[in-house]
Structure 1
Amino acid sequence: MSEGKRLAGEKAVDYVEDGMIVGVGTGSTVAFFIEALARVKDRIAGTVSSSEQSTAALRAHGIEVFDLNSTGALSLYVDGADECDGGKNLIKGGGGALTREKIIAEASAKFVCIIDPSKNVPVLGKFPLPVEVIPMAQSLVERRLIELGGKPVLRAGFTTDNGNPILDVHGLQITDPVGLEETINQIPGVVTVGLFARRRADIVIEGVDPPRIW
């Protein structure tokens, strides 16, 4: 599996152009992309990072990290996924950075998603769907998610970089990713749902040899 992640992460560097400020996601596959990006760091102007973890890794390689408010729109965002269906709809947020990831994806002209083959699924939902919530709304959101057919479980001992808890929703078969994303986002107290369907990936790189791009 780590070989698949490496193949996908290294291939994503092909989309990095000279002078870019590159949006960088979070997770084990992105860690391989960061290592590859470090080898061409003199070609780029810097990065915008979706998590404290990625920020630390980028800075350890001597790569500058900017605040998104200071950069404006980005040309490229590279990130992984916990699941990806044939329509390039994603479940993200297993690492807890879904809100910042979604913000950077929205700000980017091209979203390249890097996955190992195990993340390619026919229908989203086997991986529990993360939902970041405002703390006082936790029980309210739980009730609404149960009404939608899910089984929400509080991620124990975890808060996001924004200081909020995450509910991981089990038992869903997500046949209408855009519709479910809109429905959950409308529940008061939801910060972000880890469905990336309204703003899905533009390009998926699957870590096989040679990498499969679709």
Structure 2
Amino acid sequence: MNLKQLAAIKAVEMIEDGMKVGLGTGSTAYWAIQEIGRRVKEEGLRIETVATSQASEDLARELEIPILPFSEIPHLDLTIDGADEVDPQLNLIKGGGGALLREKIVASNSDKLIIIVDESKSVETLGAFALPVEVVPFACEWTLAALERLGCKPEWRVKDGEQFVTDNGNYIADCRIERIEDAPLLEQQLNRIPGVVDNGLFIDMASIVIVACSDGTIDVRNRK
């Protein structure tokens, strides 16, 4: 069993009958959805869910996890998702899977955001992982130039030789910052740029971070 799967199983233990649950996106969230599907099938777990990406929604339907339209779920009890980096204050970089906007919308409408990672994602300071910024296509060259002026060293994300397009029809600029000294300030500066939809800094949003360690232990970190 890999570390991501270990962390996912621990997180899914926190889901109770009757809960409304947000399903994250990416390689770690994949294992959480798999474990939720197992509980639904084998334990008769009764929940309602929404998904942060088409890929996660498709997987949930395949596993017969009840998926509802957002219009039918006003609020979520918890969301389980992964992260690309997490610092000691439980601030995050997310968006490596390209679903940062949907993930942030779902997380902000959840009573709890449970993040699952392996120990390689735990860092002292955010920034080694390139920070994703979602950008509207209109005049995107100007938005990229504004990111450059901010010192973000942005590069358009490419997939299969073509510019990556999110489920929302937007582009992703991956910003090579290396070390983010003031993550809350940078989040505000990025979102003030016209053309930026949102960015992958999740500040003061995670309630619990579950870290699977290479020695087989699980480190559960709660927001203070």
TM class by shorter chain equals over 0.9
Equivalent residue number for residue 180 of structure 1: 186
Equivalent residue number for residue 213 of structure 1: 220
Cα deviation code 1:65-89 (max 9, x no counterpart): 1122320011101000011111111
Equivalent residue number for residue 123 of structure 1: 125
Q: How far apart in 1 are the matches of 2:186 and 2:139?
A: 19
Does the 8 Å contact 1:149/1:172 carry over to 2? Answer: no
Within a 5 Å distance, the mapping from 1:19-168 to structure 2 comes to: 19-41=18-40, 42-156=44-158, 157=162, 158-168=164-174
- TM-score when scaled to structure 1? 0.95
Equivalent residue number for residue 14 of structure 2: 15
Could you list the runs of 4 or more consecutive aligned residues of structure 1 that deviate by over 4 angstroms after TM superposition? none
Does the 8 Å contact 2:50/2:69 carry over to 1? Answer: yes
Q: How far apart in 2 are the matches of 1:73 and 1:19?
A: 13
Cα deviation code 1:158-202 (max 9, x no counterpart): 1000111110001341121111111101111111101101x4211
Q: Alignment partner for residue 202 of structure 2, among 196, 207, 212?
A: 196
Q: How far apart in 2 are the matches of 1:91 and 1:24?
A: 17
Letter in 1 for 2:4: K
- TM-score when scaled to structure 2? 0.91
Aligned-pair identity in percent equals 45
Partner-residue secondary structure (3-state), 1:213: strand
1:46, distance to aligned residue in structure 2 (A): 1.8
Does the 8 Å contact 1:82/1:91 carry over to 2? Answer: yes
Q: How far apart in 1 are the matches of 2:71 and 2:190?
A: 27
Q: Mean alpha-carbon deviation: is it higher for 2-11 or for 57-66?
A: 2-11
Partner-residue secondary structure (3-state), 2:138: helix
Does the 8 Å contact 2:29/2:82 carry over to 1? Answer: yes
Letter in 2 for 1:109: D
Partner-residue secondary structure (3-state), 1:15: coil
Q: How far apart in 2 are the matches of 1:91 and 1:44?
A: 31
Cα deviation code 1:126-160 (max 9, x no counterpart): 11110111101322221221122111001122100
Q: How far apart in 1 are the matches of 2:127 and 2:146?
A: 17
Does the 8 Å contact 2:131/2:177 carry over to 1? Answer: no
Letter in 2 for 1:178: P
Unmatched 5+ residue regions in structure 1?
Answer: none
Unmatched 5+ residue regions in structure 2?
Answer: none
CA pair 137-89 structure 1, distance change in 2 beyond 3 A = farther
